[in-house]
Every structure is written in structure tokens, then in C-alpha cells.
Structure 1
Amino acid sequence: MFFCYIPNFQRYFLHRTHVKSLPKIDTFIETSVSTKRPIPVSVLREEIVSTYPYWATRELLMNAIMHRDYDSNSPIQFYEYDNRIEIQNPGGLYGKVSPENFPNVSDYRIPFIAEAMKVLGYVNRFSRGVYRVQKELKENGNGEAHFDFSLRTAFRVVENISKKYFEEGFGADTPENTQEHLEDRENAQKTPRKNPENTQKTPRNVQNEIIELIRLNPLITRRELEALLNRTPDSIKYHLSQLTKKGFIKREGSDRAGKWIIIE
């Protein structure tokens, strides 16, 4: 019988596993969880709002990975409901941390994982991440995250969906967001008004204009679209993404030498 002893095997195994999985988790939060859209702030300015802000949501999930009890067979649970996200990791508050001093005091079950994740940029400066999370959630319209300390062998956090994201009927199945209402609103905008400079375009109108500009010039760039439509880079990026997802347009070739194709 042959035995092979590897010093710090658990440390090596956890390190290799995290290096492979953390980038995928990061991408998952950004592309599948944090749905974004622009909302008008003024006639010439828009603000990008997410259902769940990318950085704050990523920080909460990365904290669950960092603070979990790796002696437990229970997995980290990430549930997305219609109105909230729940993240739960095995292992409650650890060491010096208690419900009374959280989040002002930090302690770590496996310090080298905490240090590695900090160096790699997956968690914020120790003891400061929660404050930034709460600030970002409030600014995005989610309200503060709720931390549940009642579970003895687990730690749970609840992040509510952004109310700001669903303002003005966007993103929800409301009368203001139905096809009929959008058509009525589009027709109404074609009617001359006393103050046309105060009229704000709907996302549908912006996307129609993008399609027409692409039809005239398939080689048009994002910067040219921004200038012609008087939109922010994030706004143009969002509308191009939506048109691509809906199957109206597609990109052929590289960003520099490629062109847009309208799918009839």
C-alpha cells in the first residue's frame, strides 16, 4: 500500500477550486442577475438602474464564499425569486463577530482564503464591504440588505429587487408597458406640442432610430450613434444589447472592422 502526503492539501485544493470558479461566478452575476436599463433623469440625461446592482450583489455572494464553513457538506444557496435574492452559506457568525457588533468587527474561519480573495479583487477592504453594499443598494432603489442571524449553523442575507427599476411601467406587466400603450405613446409623440423640447423618447423609439441609422450605414460605430442620438455610452450599449437579444440586429466581424446587420 502506498501513501502520499501532500502538505497543506486542503489549502491547495481550495485555492485551485476558487481560482477556477470565482471568475465564472463574477460573470454570472454581471450577465444573468444584474439586469440593467436606462431611466430618464432629465431631457438630456439618463441613469442606469439594475434589478440587483452588480457590485453589491457580487460582494454579498463573494462574502458567502469567503465566510462559509468548509467543514460542512451543505452548499452555498443562491435563490432568485420574483422580488428578492436570498444568499445562505453554511456557518453562522464566527469568532469575535456577533449580531451586536456586525459588521464593524471581522473574523475569518480560513484567513488565507479571505486574504487571497481580497488580493484578487473579489472582496472589498476588510469590514468596509457591507457599508458600500448598503449604500449602493439604497442608491439603486433596492433598500438595505437584511442580514439574518437567527440560523445557528448558517448565515443568510436577503436583497430586495429594485423598486426604481420598475418605475414608469418598465420591466413589469403593467398597462403602461403593454404594446397598445407603447404604440399610443409613440403616436402621441408624433403630434406637435407647444414644448417639443421637453418630450422624452421611449426606449422603443430610440431602438427604432438605431435600426434606421444602421440601415443607412451598417458600419456606424457606437460613438457615432451616441452623437447622432444624443445618448450616453451606457444607453447606446443597452439598446444595442436589447436589439440583439430580440433578434432585430446582429454584429458581424470585429468591433473595429465589423458591421451591423439588420435581421429582416
Structure 2
Amino acid sequence: MNFDGPVWIQAKQVSKYFEDNIMASYTIREADQIEHKIVYNYPLTAFEELATNAILHKEYDTPEYVGIYIYKDRSSFVNHNRPLPPVTIEALNKDRSFDRRQYLNKELKDMFFSLNLIESYGSGIRRAKDALFENGSPELKFYPDNEEDNYTNEVIGINKEFLNEFNSSSYEKTTTKTTTKTTIKQEEIIKIIAENPHISANEMAEKLNLTVDGVRYHLNKMRKAGLIRYEGSTKLGQWVIMKLNSK
């Protein structure tokens, strides 16, 4: 997938593509309890911070592109240059904040800050590491592990619990706990339906920034999965969120 246009537009496109097409979650709901736990394959904050970091620290005098690669068990962000001193690959693996970090593209850094694409200077790696920790994901890794190769590779592993659940043939974990796999958009649809059971697909599309066909695609998948159902006539009916009952 290639992204075109001004670099700040590309940064937003990358984030939206990830959120709509790659990021997924499953929800664990305890029987007879409102509280639930959501486990993501990759937390959005970590992906956004690392993608933005790769864009900000690219050496734009070279024709090489920023590469983001999604595999079954990991995501990889590649820049064809190393970080500017005093930051090193070893420090990126060991430390959390980089207050003295130098930028190849200071104008780009200032523009991203003014557009709220970054929150503060030198803190993106810390936020990515924190998001991975809170999601129970593997630690963030930086490569190469030598001083010769001129590239920077950031690797985040998929959440192991998510991967095991995704590969499982059964959704039920125990007799008192049920899991349902949902995407982020489907979680948003459930929230919208809970607020307004009579909402139409057109209204959902506006709230979710999706096409009507895109909303209907998600609704059909959710109905087939037993997450929701529609009761009544087309004009006067309403959506019903199905209760997840334990056996």
C-alpha cells in the first residue's frame, strides 16, 4: 500500500489505514459483570508513535522510502538511516525518553507538533513502550545490532494472548468467561447502537467516517457473529446488542 501527498497527510493516512484495516481486538466479558477487558493485536498509540517517528527521522536527501511491514506475528518500521547522535540503537532499546534527541528535519518536527501529530519532543518512544506494556505486548525492539548497517528497524510483536485467541477454534475460554473477537470499528458500532438503538446505517456512516456500504459490511459480519440483531420493520425497528451468556 502506497501513500501520496504532503507528508503530514501521509502520516494521517497511515494511521487511519492501520486503524481501519489492521488493528483488531477481542473483548473478554465476565459473566454478569459490566467490566470487560480489551486485548489489541497492536495498540494504536504504539503504531502511530512509531510510524510518525519513522517519518520524522527519515533522511529525505536519499530516495529510500519509509517501509512499514505487517507480518503475522509482528510489525516492522524501517528507515534507511541511523538515528543522529547522541541517540544510538542501544539507547533506543534501553532508555525511555530522549530529551536531547536531534532531528534531521527540524521544520517537519515543528509542523507535526503544531498539527498535534506529536505531543512533545523526544517522548514518542516512551509512549510507544508504555502502550505496549499496558496491552501486554512484547517489548519494543530496535535493530540492527551492529555499528555497520545504515538503517533503523523498529519491531513490535503481536500480543501473544491475541494471537493465541485468534488462532483458537473456540471463542469460549472457560465456563465463566466468554470472548468475542471484534474490530475497533465494530466496538464503535456497538457503542453507537447502545446510545441510539434506532440509528440508521446512514447516520452510523457519518459518525464513523465510513461509507454506507462499509457500515453495512460491518453490520452483516456482526449479525453473523451473533453480536447484534435487528428487530422490527425497516423504519420503526431497532438494533439489539446480544448478551454474551456463559454455558
- TM-score range for the pair, normalised by the shorter chain length: 0.5 to 0.7
What's the counterpart of residue 46 of structure 1? 36
Alignment counterpart, residue 160 of structure 1, candidates 148, 151, 157? 157
Q: 1:141, 1:165 within 8 Å by CA — same for their partners in 2?
A: no
Supply the AA of the counterpart residue of 2:158.
I
1:125 aligns with 2:101: no
1:110 aligns with 2:105: yes
For each residue in 1:23-51, what CA deviation from the matched residue of structure 2 results, as whole angstroms up to 9, or x when unmatched?
21120121122112212367331122210
Aligned residue runs from structure 1 range 237-252, under 5 A: 243-245=219-221, 248=224
Shift of the 100–154 alpha-carbon distance from structure 1 to 2, 3 Å rule, reads: closer
Alignment counterpart, residue 135 of structure 1, candidates 130, 133, 155? 130
Shift of the 129–89 alpha-carbon distance from structure 1 to 2, 3 Å rule, reads: same
Q: Unaligned regions of 5+ residues in structure 1, if any?
A: 1-15, 190-198, 205-219, 226-239, 252-256
Q: Unaligned regions of 5+ residues in structure 2, if any?
A: 182-191, 198-215, 241-247
Alignment counterpart, residue 176 of structure 1, candidates 153, 170, 175? 170
> Could you tell me how far apart the structure 1 residues matched to 2:179 and 2:26 are?
12
Q: 2:77, 2:154 within 8 Å by CA — same for their partners in 1?
A: yes
What's the counterpart of residue 212 of structure 1? none
> Could you tell me how far apart the structure 2 residues matched to 1:244 and 1:121 are?
35
Give the TM-score taking structure 2 as reference length.
0.65
Q: Give the structure with the larger strand fraction.
A: 2
Q: Give the structure with the larger helix fraction.
A: 1
> Could you tell me how far apart the structure 2 residues matched to 1:32 and 1:221 are?
22
For each residue in 1:64-103, what CA deviation from the matched residue of structure 2 results, as whole angstroms up to 9, or x when unmatched?
0000010111111111111001110121111432345445
Deviation at 1:132, TM superposition (A): 1.6
Alignment counterpart, residue 23 of structure 2, candidates 34, 41, 47? 34
**How many residues get paired?**
194
**Percent sequence identity over matched residues?**
21
Give the TM-score taking structure 1 as reference length.
0.61
SS state at 1:176 partner: coil
> Could you tell me how far apart the structure 2 residues matched to 1:121 and 1:258 are?
42
